[in-house]
Amino acid sequence: MTGRTRRRPSGNYCASRFALMALAALPYAAQADDAATQSLAETAREHAARAAARVWHDARDLGQFALGLIGVGYRYGGDTPVGGLDCSGLVRYVFQQVTGVTLPRTSRELSQVGANVSLDDLQVGDLVFFNTRNYSFSHVGLYLGDNRFIHAPRRGRDVEITTLSREYWQRHFNGARRLVGVLPSLIPAVIPEASAITLTTISAESTAEEPVDETRELPGNP
């Protein structure tokens, strides 16, 4: 008995069949793409929220840690609580201990780090600068909120809190800088988290901070 010869599908038939299969799969592919896009968007939002929370947490930690240094004696060129602190030494020590970031040594160099902030937009952890020795950015403090900042004033004085509303500081205000949330090392990356970096390491002995000379313009303490 002679068998039938099966007819092989033509090229046009195969192409049409594959085209139909591809069209049928399009909705599923589109759904997968939408789900992937949605998932990426949600992940990005989650990481942004975590980053914002981390930044605010870092800022509060800076202020809280600095409060523990109230009463530490002033020392020209000092950069540890044991030996004493000058104004930039105080800021540098706080950032090192809380964030692991090593900041520049002098207030003038600190004034070039981070982002410029207006007086009306100050937040906890911002650096506030003053002209206290007839040159800009010769003194620095750490803003604590509620118009207050902590600083190491001058020889014979201790680390203390004062307010920006005082006439002396208003007249000598030079500007403010925001480091938290601006320095790469203070912003958590998606994977992995950013590690602390060293911006500048400068010898404290060769770049010691000049003390505030408040007595030249204002009798008594500012």
Quick check: is 172 catalytic? no
Instruction: Report yes or no on 158 lying in a domain.
Output: yes
Instruction: Write the CATH number for 152.
Output: 3.90.1720.10
For the chain, percent of residues with pLDDT exceeding 90: 51
Instruction: Report yes or no on 198 lying in a domain.
Output: yes
CB 164 within 8 A of CB 149: yes
Quick check: is 57 catalytic? no
Task: Give how many domains the chain has, as a whole number.
Answer: 1
Instruction: Report yes or no on 162 lying in a domain.
Output: yes
Report the mean per-residue pLDDT for the chain: 74
Instruction: Give the DSSP H or E segment for 152.
Output: none
Q: How far is CA 142 from the centre of its chain?
A: 14
Q: How far is CA 70 from the centre of its chain?
A: 23
Instruction: Report yes or no on 14 lying in a domain.
Output: no
**Full domain range(s) for residue 120:** 50-212
The mean pLDDT value for 43-62 works out to 59
Instruction: Report yes or no on 55 lying in a domain.
Output: yes
Instruction: Report yes or no on 13 lying in a domain.
Output: no
pLDDT band at 204 (very low <50, low <70, confident <90, very high): very low
pLDDT attached to residue 190: 31
Instruction: Report yes or no on 126 lying in a domain.
Output: yes
Quick check: is 151 catalytic? yes
Return d(Cα 81, Cα 69) in angstroms, integer: 7
Q: Which residues pair with 115 in a beta bridge?
A: 178
pTM value > 0.75: no
Instruction: Report yes or no on 66 lying in a domain.
Output: yes
Q: How far is CA 203 from the centre of its chain?
A: 24
Return d(Cα 163, Cα 148) in angstroms, integer: 4
